[in-house]
Amino acid sequence: MQLPLLALAMASFGIGTTEFVIMGLLPEVAADLSVTIPAAGLLVTGYALGVVIGAPIVAIITNSLPRKATLIGLSSMFVVGNFLCAVAPDYWFLMGARVVTAFCHGAFFGIGAVVAANLVPPNQRASAIALMFAGLTLANVLGVPLGTALGQALGWRSTFWAVVLIGILAVSAIAIWVPRDIPHAAGNIIREFAVLKRPQVLLTMMMSVLASASLFSVFTYIAPLLRDVTGFAPHTVTYVLLLFGVGITIGNLLGGRLADWRLMPSLMASFVGLTVVLVAFVFLSPFAAAAVATVFIWGILVFAVVPPIQMRVVDAAVGAPNLASTLNQGAFNLGNAAGAWIGGAAITVGIGYAELPWVGAALAVGALGLCVVSQSLERRAGGLVEATGGACEEC
């Protein structure tokens, strides 16, 4: 069963690369399409909104379809979207192509996780899901830095052509290696949306939004920040992005272990640490060594919150975990969109790149506040969340 999981990981690698690589190429895209860097940053927002809008729509449309056919269709949509990005003649065509690409994102990860779990024995499901999502992590370690370097050397369009090739390989691998007889019980997905009435589900998804907004309000503009404030050359930015990718890989693993240990205390501690690091970045960004170290630690902390949040939303959404998992991908990407827009708006009104981490820190504090409210409600309910496995409607 390793080959089907490898096929899913290959697709998640391509999707992760195309989502994040645009941030390392903002100056090149802005110069080529004759727009400002904040306007180019809205390409991140457009993609994220495409995920937010597309996740529930695609979940509804594909609910009764065979899983293999659905995965092939979604990954093919990814290939078409990136092809359109590569040939985009102007800014608005590129924006539309990014949105088309994004429509496959949330549903692919939501459905892919369920498929991965069904490919292995019950005692290996978590490992199977982790292997699929390893493609997304690897995208940040290798795909984004290498894609950034390729785009800087041969033009930003070359990066999207490379992602098209990855997508074609992923579609072929899914078609050949993923079995047809994947168990799938198509329930009433409209009825499952009632899970959104549960306060703990909504609070956790709002944490996802703020956590992601904290990241993207700064990381969207990391290339010009490191160039203009720290003084790095373009090729050096690539190495810093590689180090950030290593940091988020460590953070993802660390966050999973901490969530298994004590979920809410570890989540709150991560948000406190994230706030401190972003505030420190304001003062350390002009100094090369300190800036690099801060970016690395930032990567660890910002992804240490992802597994606990994902675990909490699935636990709170008992009865509709697949839908909740897909919608939480939309919540993260709503944060991506909001963060990129907030960061661009801050720059437009005169806030310098060096001061952007203040914005990220404020959003992290907001997420921490939601953690406190969520735990307070849980305690007030007398621990009913744990007693019912997350099914408590009052919680």
pLDDT digit string (tens) for 284-333?
A: 999 999 999 999 999 999 888 887 887 777 677 766 666 777 788 788 87
Annotate the chain with three-state secondary structure. Answer: CHHHHHHHHHHHHHHHHHHHHHHHHHHHHHHHHCCCHHHHHHHHHHHHHHHHHHHHHHHHHCCCCCHHHHHHHHHHHHHHHHHHHHCCCCHHHHHHHHHHHHCCHHHHHHHHHHHHHHCCCHHHHHHHHHHHHHHHHHHHHHHHHHHHHHHHHHCHHHHHHHHHHHHHHHHHHHHHHCCCCCCCCCCCHHHHHHHHHCHHHHHHHHHHHHHHHHHHHHHCCHHHHHHHHHCCCHHHHHHHHHHHHHHHHHHHHHHHHHHHHCHHHHHHHHHHHHHHHHHHHHHHCCCHHHHHHHHHHHHHHHHHCHHHHHHHHHHHCCCCHHHHHHHHHHHHHHHHHHHHHHHHHHHHCCCCHHHHHHHHHHHHHHHHHHHHHHHHHHHHCCCHHHHCCCCCCCC
Fold identical between 1-186 and 193-395? yes
389 pLDDT more than 60: no
pLDDT value for 215: 93
pLDDT value for 184: 64
126 pLDDT more than 50: yes
pLDDT digit string (tens) for 244-270?
A: 888 888 887 787 777 777 778 888 999
pLDDT value for 188: 63
Q: What is the mean pLDDT of the chain?
A: 84
Say which residue the tokens 């690539």 belong to: 238
pLDDT value for 255: 79
Residues 41 and 348: their CA atoms lie apart, in Å, by: 12
Residues 316 and 383: their CA atoms lie apart, in Å, by: 13
pLDDT digit string (tens) for 154-166?
A: 999 999 999 999 9
Residues 314 and 328: their CA atoms lie apart, in Å, by: 9
User: 55, 62 in Cβ contact below 8 A?
Assistant: no
Residue bearing the bigger pLDDT, 188 or 119: 119
**What sign for the dihedral angle of Cα 274, 333, 190, 116?**
negative
Q: Where are the domains of the chain?
A: 1-186, 193-395
> Which residue type occupies 269?
A
386 pLDDT more than 60: no
pLDDT value for 250: 85
Residues 21 and 219: their CA atoms lie apart, in Å, by: 11
Say which residue the tokens 């399409």 belong to: 33
pLDDT value for 394: 47
What does the pLDDT average to over 263-282? 92
Tokens for 320, please give them: 């509709």
Tokens for 289, please give them: 């060594």
What does the pLDDT average to over 201-208? 89
> Which residue type occupies 77?
M
pLDDT digit string (tens) for 323-369?
A: 777 788 788 878 888 888 899 899 989 899 999 999 999 999 999 99
Q: What percent of the chain has pLDDT over 90?
A: 38
Backbone angles phi, psi at 91, to 5 degrees: -60, -45
* Residue 134: band (very low, low, confident or very high) from pLDDT cuts 50, 70, 90: confident
What does the pLDDT average to over 266-276? 92
CATH class of domain segment(s) 1-186: mainly alpha
393 pLDDT more than 60: no
From 46-60, 158-172, 189-203, 361-375, the region with the lowest mean pLDDT? 189-203
* Residue 186: band (very low, low, confident or very high) from pLDDT cuts 50, 70, 90: low
* Residue 385: band (very low, low, confident or very high) from pLDDT cuts 50, 70, 90: very low
**What sign for the dihedral angle of Cα 311, 315, 317, 320?**
positive
From 12-16, 21-25, 345-349, 378-382, the region with the lowest mean pLDDT? 378-382
pLDDT digit string (tens) for 60-107?
A: 788 778 889 999 999 999 999 999 999 999 999 999 999 989 988 888
176 pLDDT more than 70: yes
388 pLDDT more than 60: no
Say which residue the tokens 């997304």 belong to: 136
Residues 317 and 354: their CA atoms lie apart, in Å, by: 40
383 pLDDT more than 60: no
Residues 9 and 112: their CA atoms lie apart, in Å, by: 9
* Residue 118: band (very low, low, confident or very high) from pLDDT cuts 50, 70, 90: confident
- Fold designation for 193-395: Growth Hormone; Chain: A; (1.20.1250)
> What's the gap between Cα 253 and its chain centre?
15
